[in-house]
Each structure stands twice: as structure tokens, then as C-alpha cells.
A and B are shown apart, each in its own frame.
Chain A
Amino acid sequence: MIRLEGLEKIYGGGRGGVTHHALKGIDLSIDKGEIFGIIGRSGAGKSTLIRTINRLEDVTGGRVFVDGVDIATLSNAELTIFRRSVGMVFQHFNLLSSRTVYGNVALPLELAKVPKDEIAKRVQPMLELVGLTDKSDRYPSELSGGQKQRVGIARALVAEPKVLLCDEVTSALDPETTQQILDLLRDINRRMSLTMVVITHEMSVVRDLCDRVAVIDDGLIVESGNVFDVFVKPAHPTTQALIANEIEASLPKSLRRIIHDGPGGPGENPVVKIVFTGPNAYDPIISQLSRTAGIDFNILAGQVDYIQNRPFGILFVEAKGGIDEAEKAIAFVQSRNLKAEVIGYVDPDSVPAG
């Protein structure tokens, strides 16, 4: 559906100004009907990248094909028509404050000179889809962030696009609203078999929404693949860092403070991080560990997620013994094709009870 070949973008350069190489040769292929995530830190080039897909941004080198058409060859008039087949949703919603919810959703059709009565027929189902039928006559300033983004989504879909571009659509929203918007987008993808490109800096958005993901760093794709695989076996340091941000959040601050890097002092216990994925993720690993290593394990923190309906868990345990027993436990975990490592040491007395 979308194919990017050797995409390059260089900003500036006029009159000896500073140039910025935002995209340094991007190759990507996005299939029809899939939700493709592009994740990266701010400044990695992801916003530039998504803007090349509807030519809001002209490329310096390389080509963009959408539905088989090289969009650089489109005339201005053709570009206008083409853009109607690509919807876009923005981080800051970009709604017209002078128009009601209805007026905002109707705008793309007005621009395409669709007759008024037909506009009404097409806007209503969109408002229903995003659950804002009762807010039709309200102005954006009267809505919450989540409601505004729903209007943005309805507006992007009203012209029945083939592709939906989502530029950090949940970054301005609180976690609960984020989840609702992600659910809505998932639902829309299934119902309309719409191809979606999702730009984000949050791994959780990729985890909860996308089928495949590409990690962009400094203008290059450093890793891409199925979301589950990338999540479970991140190869590139940037990917690992992005995922670590997610995981570390699951280790409570109070614990992070008392766990220190080795070597462990006398009486201190190793802390082992165990990552559960794949076919053995359901194994009763803790009780097996105790038996194999001959010591007890105290669970400090943990979480189990489901990514694309497959379990993916992380557990932080305190090995009630020395480093030798901990190593034995790690060897056992690894023999089960799960990952484990000592991440630090902790004084058992400082571990909060319970």
C-alpha cells in the first residue's frame, strides 16, 4: 500500500545556512490493512517521515509510492485529490475553533465541494462511530482532549480515505483517554480495513495498537518487524532503551532506590530480572526455581502483558541466598529459553515487608 524507497530529507542549506539531515535513506513497505508503527525519540525524524506520505513534506531524495503511485509526480490538482484519500490525525488535534464539531467533521467534504445534504448524510455516521452524536453542535473549546481527538479522527475518516496517518495522536492525552483512543483506532482498523501509519514515542502505543513496527533513530530505520518480536527481542540499543523506559516504569521508585549495582556486600541478596516470553511463558517458573536452586525467592515487582494476545512478562525477584545460587537459578531460567540476569543487589532488611 505504501512503499518508501531510499527516502532522504535535508532541511535548510539556503544561503549558507545550517543544513539538517532529517532522513538519511529510509526503506519501508507497509501492507494494505495493517497498522504500522514508527517509533523513535523526539528529533529522530519520525514526524518528517509521516509527512512525506501525504507530501506535506517534499523529499530531497528517494521515492514515495502510495497505492502504486509515485506521489512526487502528481500535479497540484492531482495532489489535492490524492490527499483526500489519505486522512491525518494530529497530536494537537488542529480543529477549527470557529466551527462546531459537525462543522469540523464536514470541512473535508466542503472542501471537496460535496453537496450539503450529502455532507449531512456522511457526517452523522462518523459522529456515531466516534461516539459524539450528542456533541454535534458544540465548539472544540467545550470538549475534553479525548473528545477533541475523536473529532479529529472523525474528520480524518469522513472522506473515506484508504490510509490514515496518526501523528502522536495520544501524546497530549492522559493514560485512560489514550487507551480509549487506541481502542477506537483498533476498532476502526478492523471495521474499515484501513491502512494506518502510527507515529509515536511511546512503546505502549506500539504494543497496544500496532501489527508491525519500525524503530527510527537519527534519520534511519534501525530495526523493524512484528511488534511482538521487536518487543521481546529488541536488537538495537535504541529499541532496548525505549522498551526499558516501559519496563522500568513497572519497577516502583521505592525499589529502584534500594537496589544498587554490585558487588553485593555481606548479607545482601542478588536481584534477578526474569523475562517471560514464548512457549514457556506460562510455566510455574518460581516454584521450579526454588527447587532447582535450593533457596527461596521473594517477588519484588512484576508485570505480565499481552502483546498481540501473546503473554510477555517481567518479574523482579530477590534470591534469598548468595550469588552462586542466583547464577544457578539464571542458568535454569535460560535452559527454559527465558531471559534472566542479575540487575543489582539489595539489603534484605531494606525491602519493604509484604
Chain B
Amino acid sequence: MSTQILSLLANAAIETGYMVLIALSIGTLLGGPLGVMLATSGRGELFEARVFNRVVGGIVNATRSIPFIILAVAIIPFTRMVAGTSIGTSAAIVPLTVAATPFIARIIEGAVRGVDSGLIEAAQAMGAKPLQIVFKVLLPEALPAIVLGLTLTTVLLIGYSAMVGAVGGGGLGDLGIRYGYQRFRPDIMAAVVIVLIVVVQLIQTAGDRLARRLNKRVR
């Protein structure tokens, strides 16, 4: 394999990593609190706000029901507003983040809901304030599940990032489409696929290991 292809691959991998990491970070920053609020605003829960719960839950579901490729195209005006352009790797971060946020919100919600309600009761009995319950009890107890969920999100975003090539984003997916498919270079296509498989495998393994180390429930 020529050094030219290798440098193409390396560049594309860096672009993918850049898109996925930024989208994951912003998505977690936005989706994390949203998920905690979804998990704690139901009837009789810590921050009961049922209207909020319904509305946000509805928006989250709506966003998640749109196929990513359509979402990416549909929000091009928004992307242009945020990123100043709708073309390029940086611009592609916008639709990726928009897709990641509700996904992460549901992941965090599920993880937080998985915490035994007896622990909330015990914390209340100790005189914990609601925010203390979130930060001292719910999030630490949910951490292993959150790590697994974010691993899943990362893998999902790598897949999505391949699609943003369609709206002018870069990365491994774009490389595979433009060189591998449109220029009939099966060697490049194969290289892209192999790199993706290895990367996803590494991420999943690392996530699993971290979650297991954090999980003190079973030994």
C-alpha cells in the first residue's frame, strides 16, 4: 500500500475522531443533564415536573425517529447558522451533535433509572438535598451503565460520521465513498472497512473494561 493511501487513511481517521469526539462531548454536555432531568421529573420523583417530562420526552422521541441522513440534510440551515458553513468536517459536527444529544439523554435516563430507589430514600433520610442526591448518589451509582451507554453512542456516531460525507463532511466514510466506491478502488474501500472494524473493536473493549472496573456491584 502506498504512503499516499496511508496518509489519506490517517487524515480521514483523524477527521472521524475529531467529529465523533466533539459531537460526543457536546452531546454529553447537553444530553447528560437532560437525561438526569428525564429520569427524575416523573410522577412522585425527585424533581417532579410532569409537563416538562412529557414535552422533553416528546422532542427526544421525535428527533430520534428521524433517520440520520435525513436529519443531516434537513437541518442544513441550522448547521450554516451555527458553523457558518454547511460543508466540511467542522460543519458535520452540528448534525452529529443534534443526533447524539437525544440519544445520550435516553442512555443517561435509563442508567439513572436503573439506580435502586431505596438508595434515594436512604439519602433523603440522611438529609440529602435533591442536587446532592444527583451528584452523590445517582450519578456515581449509574456510572458503569453510563460508561457502557457512551461507548455505544461512540460506535453509533462513528457510523453516522460515515454518512456526513453526503453533506460535505470528511472522515473515513467519505474516503470510502469517494475513493473506494466512486473511483473504483476496492483496496481503499477494504482499508477503510478494516480501520473501522479495528477502531470500533478497540472502543468497545476499552468501554467494557472501564465499565467493569467501575462496577463494584459484582466481584
Contacts and interface: CB of A to CB of B under 8 A. Distances in A.
Interface of A: 54, 56, 79-84, 86-88, 90, 92, 94, 96-99, 107-108, 110-112, 139-142, 155, 159, 165
Contacts of A165: 125
Given A139-B219, A141-B217, A98 B126 contact: no
19 contacts: A80-B128, A81-B127, A83-B124, A83-B125, A90-B118, A90-B121, A94-B116, A94-B118, A94-B121, A94-B122, A96-B137, A98-B140, A98-B214, A112-B127, A139-B216, A139-B219, A141-B216, A141-B217, A142-B219
B129 interface: yes
Contact size range, B: 20 to 34
Contacts of A97: 141, 215-217
A84 B127 contact: yes
Nearest to B140: A98
List of 3 A-B pairs having minimum Cβ-Cβ separation, nearest first? A83-B127, A94-B122, A139-B216
A93 to B, nearest CB: 8
A122 B49 CA distance: 38
Contacts of B217: 97, 141
Contacts of A54: 125
Contact of A96 (B119, B129, B215): B119
Contact of A108 (B118, B127, B216, B218): B127
Nearest to B129: A80
Which of B118, B121, B122 gathers the greatest number of chain A CB atoms within 10 Å? Answer: B122
A90 B218 CA distance: 21
Interface in B127-150: 127-129, 132, 136-137, 140-141, 143
Given A83-B125, A141-B216, 8 more contacts: A82-B127, A84-B127, A86-B125, A88-B125, A88-B126, A107-B136, A139-B219, A142-B219
